[in-house]
Amino acid sequence: MFSRLTRVLAPRTTAHAHCDIPCGVYDPQQARIEAESCYKIIQKYNESNDELFRARCINVKEERAELTKHHIDVMWHDYFKPEHVEKFPDLHEVCWKASKQASQVKRTVDIAEAQKLLDLIDKIDHMWRETGGPGSTRMQASA
């Protein structure tokens, strides 16, 4: 009920109070690497009996999942353009689910949830590649 209310109230436009100039460099691998960290941390958590180690795992996972979410949101808000949505009508749905899934990974130590997150990021990666992302948003290595 509350979340439905906030969805209605939420602005559709983001007004940036950053000082940064958009650099134009985007790559879903940034999100993927953080999400892989979450995956591995959950594995290590489940294999360990050391309470202190497990507590640290939770801590680091929280942090990595937040970074994953941030990088997903940057792709969504800053990289993707309306013409990309025309090409991939489920673009918003996928980004939204991925962002939500990153929150889900914060909450759980279920490895399947971490795998779901990786799969969603791979979908974003696919859309990024199909819209010419690698050529237009990454610098090419100088020989």
The answer to whether the beta carbons of residues 22 and 101 sit under 8 Å apart is: no
Q: Whole-angstrom Cα distance, residue 17 to residue 141?
A: 32
The answer to whether the beta carbons of residues 35 and 121 sit under 8 Å apart is: yes
| CA-closest candidate to residue 75, choices 10, 139, 137 | 137
Q: Which CB, 21 or 143, lies closer to other proteins? A: 21
Task: Determine which residue in the list 46, 81, 93, 136 makes contact with other proteins, applying CB under 8 A.
Answer: 81
Task: Determine which residue in the list 1, 19, 52, 139 makes contact with other proteins, applying CB under 8 A.
Answer: 19
Residue 25: partners with Cβ closer than 8 Å, 6 or more residues away? 137, 138, 139
The answer to whether the beta carbons of residues 117 and 105 sit under 8 Å apart is: yes
Q: Which CB, 75 or 118, lies closer to other proteins? A: 75
- Taking the complex as a whole, the smallest distance from the CB of residue 78 to other proteins amounts, in Å, to 8
- Taking the complex as a whole, the smallest distance from the CB of residue 71 to other proteins amounts, in Å, to 15
Does 18 contact other proteins by CB under 8 A?
yes
User: Burial, 12: exposed, middle or buried (Cβ in 10 Å; 0-12, 13-18, 19+)?
Assistant: exposed
Does 17 contact other proteins by CB under 8 A?
yes
Residue with tokens 């640290």: 56
Each residue 91-130 as x (binds other proteins by CB under 8 A) or -, in order, gives ----------------------------------------
CB under 8 A: which stretch of 10-18, 93-101, 103-111, 128-136 binds other proteins?
Answer: 10-18
Task: Determine which residue in the list 2, 4, 7, 16 makes contact with other proteins, applying CB under 8 A.
Answer: 16
